Chain A
Amino acid sequence: MKISKSEVEKIAHLARLEIKDDRKEKMVEQLGNILQYIDKLKDAHVGGVGFSSGGAMADNVLREDRPEVSPGPSITLANAPERDDDFYVVPRVVK
């Protein structure tokens, strides 16, 4: 399936990406080619076939919900681009 420029723009917004105008056309064309190739999947007979999401073991993994000591803000926030003591600083959210 080909994809339109406006669809690419909409998806880019959902993904919080901004595609520059000079790149847009090429991106639309390349995505179109890839999606057209992927259309092959429509030929596969998947009626009655279950969904698989990977994993080596078929069993579920459960554990007790026990609190453990957390690393604390000095570790957790060590790579923050901007912080104020133990808080992340972000651009204003509410205007």
Chain B
Amino acid sequence: MEYHELTIGNAMERLARREISSVELTSAFLDRIETYEEGIGAFITLDRDGALAQAEQADQDLAAGRGSALTGIPLALKDILCTQGIKTTCGSRILENFVPQYDGTVVSKLKGEGAVILGKTNLDEFAMGSSTENSAYKITRNPWDREYVPGGSSGGSAAAVAARFCCGSIGTDTGGSIRQPASHCGVVGIKPTYGRVSRFGLISYASSLDQAGPITRDVRDAALLLNAISGHDKLDSTSAKVPVPDFTQALDQFGKGSLKGMRAGIPKEYVSAEGMDPEVEKVFHHAKQVLEDLGVEIREISLPHAEYVVAAYYIIAPCEASSNLARYDGVKYGFRDRSSDDLMDMYKKTKSRGFGIEVQRRIIIGTYALSAGYYDAYYGRASKVRTLIAGDFSKAFETCDLILSPVAPAPAFKIGEKTDDPLTMYLTDIFTLSANMAGIPGISVPAGYSSKGLPVGIQMMARKFDEMSLLRAGYGFEQSIGLARKFPDL
């Protein structure tokens, strides 16, 4: 087996047995990135020297018997997670020179477990987008077919995992930004429960929706990364004080009882969703049968307010964004336009030249919706609709343990196909937004391919803090459908 074929789980075993070294593994990924990155565009920043130094340290630790859970495992991080001493751009010109003075909690936890950080992956600017075409730096291409988008906003992370540029990656998900690119790139992605993972050092887009999570080659790896990053953090008061189980136990649970006794609901509102691609329907139908064969009891459920999810999300997220992004004023950090000697003019030129068009659009929508006379009609109303959406899920989870749906209504689209039509792009988020609005966890697992050979995933959602059910069902599904670890030739 070649180095780049190793999953996190495989690599951990071989490192522990000293069959391979972290320096060998890390070098192999760096060489592979050098060979193929130009055609994919997964990374904004590569930290070759830093990664090799961390790998050397990892090898010393392993030799001395001081290894931790991820010692020596090369990972890639979405460039929205603050990394001390490594540029963190958020895919934006406004942060082109920003070098964080501290690690985000997710990053310090991964480093604490011995992980090697290869670099920072591309994203839609400030995580606003579904295709990674909104990055100020580059377009990321889908490794399965380079004319297609990898999805977004964590498109660089998903592409890096699919291209096997790293053992695994961390993305962030505000409305589907882990699950949708994972689906489009044929890899596994988990958006944890809101509060499961600390947001400290995750540069804010919409604070009540943002959550970091793993993007990996298989479900076991997702459980391993989730183990490493979960837990309460006093630096994020919204992180939850709840126990963190060993998520790999979910795999044993499947081994012991298959998926018997699990109940999964399929929302009738999703089945009739507009713009459903027949190929996605076909994959979804097959996935349903696979789960039934594993003993899952499938029933129809209703999420009566599903039709309002996109509208409510595209008020709430831009409102929070307009407030969060006000901090980029050219004074404290980041880009400053130097052509003006007037303060107001400096603010305006800095923001207009520093932010891309989609970010400006969302700031304007948010500012408008929060402005005098419109607050009740927009933000107030959307927040009440959010209560109704969360209520739909609570009710549904009275009779089922999982909710099944496609991840996106269609497979990946072509680069450039939707850039001119933001509303159409927003509507493709229909199945993923709800989990963020309701604060519940969701997983995307590879389930099949379109006729063009593009991957298609399915989504499962569960009750708050029940990632274990997602991992158990996801693992069972992955084992049965036989798609685990199929990757594109580069």
Using a CB–CB cutoff of 8 Å, the interface residues on chain A facing chain B are: 3, 7-8, 11-12, 14-20, 23, 27, 30-31, 33-35, 37-44, 46, 49-57, 61, 63, 71, 75-76, 78-82, 88, 90-93
| CB-CB under 8 A for A52 and B422, given A18-B352, A31-B364, A90-B346 | no
Residues from chain A with Cβ under 8 Å of B329 in the complex: 16
Interface-side segment among B34-42, B152-160, B275-283, B382-390: B382-390
Pair A56/B334 contact, Cβ less than 8 Å: no
Pair A81/B371 contact, Cβ less than 8 Å: no
Pair B361/A12 contact, Cβ less than 8 Å: no
Pair A11/B367 contact, Cβ less than 8 Å: yes
Pair A46/B384 contact, Cβ less than 8 Å: yes
7 tightest CB-CB pairs across the interface, nearest first?
Answer: A54-B208, A56-B195, A79-B333, A81-B336, A46-B384, A61-B237, A52-B387
Q: B11 in the interface, Cβ–Cβ < 8 Å?
A: no
Distance of A71 Cα from B397 Cα, bound (Å): 45
Q: B341 in the interface, Cβ–Cβ < 8 Å?
A: yes
Indicate with 1 or 0, residue by residue over B333-367, a CB within 8 angstroms of chain A CB atoms: 11110001111111111011001010011011101
Distance of A78 Cα from B100 Cα, bound (Å): 9
Distance of A11 Cα from B380 Cα, bound (Å): 19
Distance of A46 Cα from B380 Cα, bound (Å): 10
Pair B341/A15 contact, Cβ less than 8 Å: no
Pair B387/A49 contact, Cβ less than 8 Å: yes
Residues from chain B with Cβ under 8 Å of A46 in the complex: 381, 384-385, 388
Judged by DSSP, the binding face of A is: loop
Which of A52, A71, A78, A88 is most buried by chain B, counting CB atoms within 10 A of its CB? A52
Which residue of B has the minimal Cβ distance to A89? B331
Q: B307 in the interface, Cβ–Cβ < 8 Å?
A: yes
| CB-CB under 8 A for A41 and B423, given A55-B208, A90-B331 | no
Pair A44/B332 contact, Cβ less than 8 Å: no
Which of A30, A44, A50 sits near B381, CB closer than 8 Å?
Answer: A44
Q: B144 in the interface, Cβ–Cβ < 8 Å?
A: no
Which residue of A has the minimal Cβ distance to B437? A54
Which residue of A has the minimal Cβ distance to B465? A56
| CB-CB under 8 A for A78 and B99, given A15-B364, A18-B348 | yes
Residues from chain A with Cβ under 8 Å of B341 in the complex: 91-92
Distance of A56 Cα from B299 Cα, bound (Å): 27
Distance of A10 Cα from B240 Cα, bound (Å): 40
Q: B193 in the interface, Cβ–Cβ < 8 Å?
A: yes
Pair B342/A91 contact, Cβ less than 8 Å: yes
Residues from chain A with Cβ under 8 Å of B322 in the complex: 15
Pair A80/B332 contact, Cβ less than 8 Å: yes
A-B pairs with beta carbons under 8 Å apart, 15 shown:
A11-B367, A14-B371, A15-B322, A15-B326, A17-B355, A34-B426, A35-B365, A37-B311, A38-B314, A46-B384, A51-B383, A54-B209, A56-B439, A75-B101, A92-B343
Distance of A18 Cα from B355 Cα, bound (Å): 11
Pair A53/B383 contact, Cβ less than 8 Å: yes
Residues from chain B with Cβ under 8 Å of A63 in the complex: 234, 237
Distance of A76 Cα from B390 Cα, bound (Å): 39
Residues from chain B with Cβ under 8 Å of A75 in the complex: 101
Pair B360/A40 contact, Cβ less than 8 Å: no
Which of A3, A15, A38, A90 sits near B315, CB closer than 8 Å?
Answer: A38
